[in-house]
Amino acid sequence: MIRVLIADDHPVVRQGLRTFLDLQEDITVVGEAADGAEAVALADELVPDVLLLDLKMPVLDGLGALARLSGALPRVIVLTSVSDRSDVAPAMRAGAAGFLYKDVDPNALVQAVRAVHGGQVLLAPEAAEAMLAGANGSPTPMGPVTLTEREREVLALIAAGNSNREIARSLSVAEKTVKTHVSNVLMKLGVQDRTQAALYAVRHGLA
Amino acid sequence: MIRVLIADDHPVVRQGLRTFLDLQEDITVVGEAADGAEAVALADELVPDVLLLDLKMPVLDGLGALARLSGALPRVIVLTSVSDRSDVAPAMRAGAAGFLYKDVDPNALVQAVRAVHGGQVLLAPEAAEAMLAGANGSPTPMGPVTLTEREREVLALIAAGNSNREIARSLSVAEKTVKTHVSNVLMKLGVQDRTQAALYAVRHGLA
DNA sequence: ACGTTCCTTGGTCCTAGGTCCATATGCCCA
DNA sequence: TGGGCATATGGACCTAGGACCAAGGAACGT
């Protein structure tokens, strides 16, 4: 039985989701929250398997709630009404396991709940597109990113928390050079800044 | 038997270290490198337990070598001649397990090799001082850093790779506010920038 | 009531980080 | 010999990040 918590500031939406989800024999809605703070509190209390989270909520919005969940960790599916591309990346980075738009087919939503509960990550097509092509212009050529020796070295130092100046000193090159390498690394990894690069490195064991 | 690799551009130093270390019954010097590149190559080839690494070397300096070691992972003791405080932090961040000055008592060095091999981290007193008081002015009050709710939230979002602007949007506050929180977090964690904070968060499971 | 902590916002100011564009060398490969 | 890649560097330029300083409101405990 998949225990689901619904967080949405719109009562009708909650009601709709609840009744439909409760019709599924393997899903049970264990609670509803009207804002982010309540969602966090209930997540702690009810320990749901999956949290359906609206992004736009009063008091504390979805992303804020996501950030606050650190530790408890239900699987979170972000359910947003407006199809604002720019919300996708931050949400996924903050630990969401799914990203869907509210116009999603109910049956697809049920599938999503099951998939996410099973450990998968699920994105609406538009969201996936936003993630891949979105922020950076490159279509993310995929594959096991190939960095040059020098770039790997620079990345390792970034992942160690060093500044460009420190890296330049370590490698005995000009800071300008380091910047160039950093830019290339960011581009290749498809991330926006050194912090994301550092996180990428540790997560992928490149550090 | 602790297998040690020595990396120093000064032949005399290498010779001195080798003869002394080889006198120890539980230590054997398996190789010598005259520069960083050679050190990396030999570390790969010989898979030593401990690497004694000079910082100032031609071709590729100690820090560069440290960065390149990613993966092989011998325990590294940085052995530096000049007592330049500013080298300590970057080296430790890059993964060094020990930091000693060359005027160290030979017996203390041997102890250090054993300690580091045993998994401990060992700093020369001056180095420890540089680490603690060094970069940041605060003496690092220690203890399990106590962040406020809001600060934890901000840190979580930093650790997710979000920018101040994105964080501000998530929490529905002004970017100025976020900056203040970030500054406070950096101060409390005793780190210099958001990248280090993010790494701290993931390593300490705060993300 | 009073002080403290937390959260918030504002302002200034400087530095670090990154982008874009161009260049030069060396090397390897076709 | 021409082309592509890796490396290193320069300059111009803009933005994000952070430090420092100040201050007001809310909550809470004494």
Please tell me the predicted confidence (pLDDT) of residue B70: 55
ipTM, interface predicted TM-score of the complex: 0.63
- Tell me which residue has tokens 């000193």: A169
Reported as a pLDDT band with limits 50, 70 and 90, residue B148 is confident
- For residues B74 and B46, is the Cβ–Cβ distance under 8 A? no
For residue B78, what are the β-bridge partners? B53, B99
Within 8 A of A199 by CB-CB distance, chain B residues are 159, 161, 198-199, 202
Report CA(B180)–C1'(D16) in Å, whole number: 14
Please tell me the predicted confidence (pLDDT) of residue B144: 54
Please tell me the predicted confidence (pLDDT) of residue A55: 85
User: How does pLDDT run across B7-55, given as a tens digit for each residue?
Assistant: 998 898 999 999 999 999 999 999 999 888 888 888 888 889 999 998 8
d(CA A25, CA B96): 55
Looking at the complex, report in whole angstroms how far the Cα of residue B50 sits from the nearest Cα belonging to chain A: 19
Please tell me the predicted confidence (pLDDT) of residue B83: 61
For residue A33, what are the β-bridge partners? A7
Local confidence pLDDT in tens for the 207 residues of chain A = 999 999 998 888 899 999 989 999 999 999 999 888 888 888 878 889 999 998 888 777 778 788 777 555 788 999 887 666 677 777 777 778 888 888 888 888 888 888 888 777 777 766 666 655 443 333 333 345 678 888 888 998 999 899 999 999 888 889 999 999 999 999 888 888 999 999 988 877 665
Looking only at the bridges linking them, the beta strands covering B27-33 and B2-7 are: parallel
Strand C within 7 A of A136 CB: no
**Chain B: residues touching A (Cβ < 8 Å):** 60-61, 63-64, 67-68, 70-71, 90, 93-95, 149, 152-154, 156-163, 166, 169-172, 191-196, 198-199, 202, 206-207
| Weakest mean pLDDT among A157-166, B26-35, B81-90, B115-124 | B81-90
Reported as a pLDDT band with limits 50, 70 and 90, residue B149 is confident
Bases on strand D under 7 Å from any protein CB: 5-12, 16-22
Please tell me the predicted confidence (pLDDT) of residue B189: 86
Residue of A nearest to B36 (CA): A171
- For residues B21 and B112, is the Cβ–Cβ distance under 8 A? no
Please tell me the predicted confidence (pLDDT) of residue B139: 36
Bases on strand C under 7 Å from any protein CB: 5-11, 16-22
Q: E strand or H helix at B15, and its extent?
A: helix B11-23
Looking at the complex, report in whole angstroms how far the Cα of residue A47 sits from the nearest Cα belonging to chain B: 18
Looking at the complex, report in whole angstroms how far the Cα of residue B170 sits from the nearest Cα belonging to chain A: 5
Find the mean pLDDT for residues B100-105.
83
Please tell me the predicted confidence (pLDDT) of residue B132: 53
User: How does pLDDT run across B157-194, given as a tens digit for each residue?
Assistant: 999 899 999 999 888 889 999 999 999 999 888 888 99
- Residue A23, SS3 per DSSP: helix
Question: Which nucleotide has the least CA–C1' distance to B195?
Answer: D17
d(CA A89, CA A62): 13
Report CA(B180)–C1'(C11) in Å, whole number: 13
Q: Which of A65, A52, A177, A193 is nearest to A136 (CA)?
A: A193
Please tell me the predicted confidence (pLDDT) of residue A143: 44
